[in-house]
Amino acid sequence: MQARTLPTEFRGCAGMYVCICNRLTDQQVRAAALSGASRPAEVYPACGCAAQCGTCAITMRHLIDEQASRIAAAE
């Protein structure tokens, strides 16, 4: 899979915490999605961590789906 970069509107922004247990931001989740993670279980290892409580999984799912829609719209 080809590496992608974050959309310009997300570059240089600190981001919002999505996963409190692992201190992952929405930008890190989006970057993982751009790198090929298609579900939360793939985001954690892509970010060098593992699922803890799992509370963030639904929000991650939304971010991954949103990123996939952006990619599809751009292609």
Q: Give the residue with the Cβ less far from ligand FES, 25 or 35.
A: 25
Residues found near ligand FES in the complex (CB under 6 A): 19-22, 51-56
Q: Which helix (H) or strand (E) holds 69?
A: helix 57-74
CB of 32 to ligand FES, least distance (A): 13
CB of 58 to ligand FES, least distance (A): 10
Q: Give the residue with the Cβ less far from ligand FES, 6 or 21.
A: 21
Q: Is the four-CA dihedral 15, 25, 48, 72 of positive or negative sign?
A: negative
